Amino acid sequence: MAIRSVRYMGDPLLSARAQEVSHFPSAALTELVGDMKDTMAALNGAGLAAPQIGVPLRIVIFGVQANPRYPEVAGVPDTVLVNPVVEAIGDDEEEGWEGCLSVPGMRGLVPRYQRIRYRGFDLEGTPIMREAEGFHARVVQHECDHLDGILYPLRIRDLRFFGYESVLFPEGMEASDR
Ligand code: NI
């Protein structure tokens, strides 16, 4: 397994729709996801999508440890999701600050559905289906957007709320990069 280089906004691969995974489990898939985990951990990300390391397949990983210093930010289970599908539960949205390993140093205020249902498969092909809300739902929507070529700045409604993290949050911010 290895840390791979992350593609940055402007790379055409990040604007393209990724392809469904058709065969799993497979050794190649296991190796790819291992590289994704290593890369995400090395960069302190909350999630990563395969296209971000140059692989145009519909695979995302995510996970955030609950941090007792920030009890308002709930943990998100460590998850590998292949061929994910996300649907909103209800119309409620909320705005929240996001960052992205493909848009380093920036933050933006992004509307997301407050509650979602998502499904997909783990590495062995076992179905996963969950409901999520709040930060968990936000992370999943952000990562799955990558598979459709959508980076979070495209979702920002008011670009006054998009800028450099060091300027927006000079004293730091609780949420990690994603
Ligand atoms: Ni991202």
Q: Which of 52, 50, 61 is nearest to 28 (CA)?
A: 50
Residue 114 near residue 19 (C-beta atoms within 8 A): no
Which pLDDT value is given to residue 176?
A: 44
For 84-93, b/e burial (b = at least 16 CB within 10 A) is: bebeeeeeee
DSSP of 113-134, one letter per residue?
ESEEEEEEE-TTS-EEEEEEEH
User: Ligand 1 center to residue 115 CA distance, Å?
Assistant: 19
Backbone angles phi, psi at 34, to 5 degrees: -60, -45
Say if 7 falls within a structural domain: no
62 assigned to some structural domain:
yes
How close is the Cα of 49 to the center of ligand 1, in Å? 7
- Tell me if 96 sits within 8 A of 74, measured CB to CB: no
Instruction: Report pLDDT for 57.
Output: 98
Question: Whole-angstrom Cα distance, residue 140 to residue 104?
Answer: 19
| Structural domain that includes position 79 | 12-175
CA 75 to ligand 1 center in whole angstroms: 18
* Residue 130 within any structural domain of the chain: yes
Residue 36, in any domain of the structure? yes
Does residue 4 lie within any of the structural domains?
Answer: no
Separation of 101 CA from ligand 1 center, angstroms? 6
Which CATH number do you get for residue 163? 3.90.45.10
Q: Does residue 154 belong to any structural domain of this protein? A: yes
CA distance 7 to 23: 25
Q: How many structural domains is the chain composed of?
A: 1
Q: Is residue 2 part of a domain?
A: no
Q: Are residues 93 and 111 in contact, defined by beta-carbon separation less than 8 angstroms?
A: yes
Neighbours of ion ligand 1 (CB under 5 A): 100
**Tens digit of pLDDT for each residue in 117-157?**
999 999 999 999 999 999 999 999 999 999 999 999 999 99
- Residue 8 is predicted with a pLDDT of 98
Q: How far apart are the first and last CA of the chain?
A: 20
Please say whether the beta carbons of 53 and 36 come within 8 A: yes
Please give the distance, rounded to the nearest whole angstrom, from the Cα atom of residue 100 to the centre of ligand 1: 4
Strand partners, 128: 120
Task: List the catalytic residues.
Answer: 143
Enumerate residue ranges in the chain where pLDDT < 50.
175-178
CA of 150 to the centre of ligand 1 (A): 9
- Residue 174 is predicted with a pLDDT of 55
> Dihedral sign, CA of 84, 55, 110, 139?
positive
Query: Is 166 within a domain?
Result: yes
Distance from Cα 53 to the centre of ligand 1, integer Å: 11
Q: Locate tokens 């590998």: which residue?
A: 80
| Contact present, 117 and 89 (Cβ < 8 Å) | yes
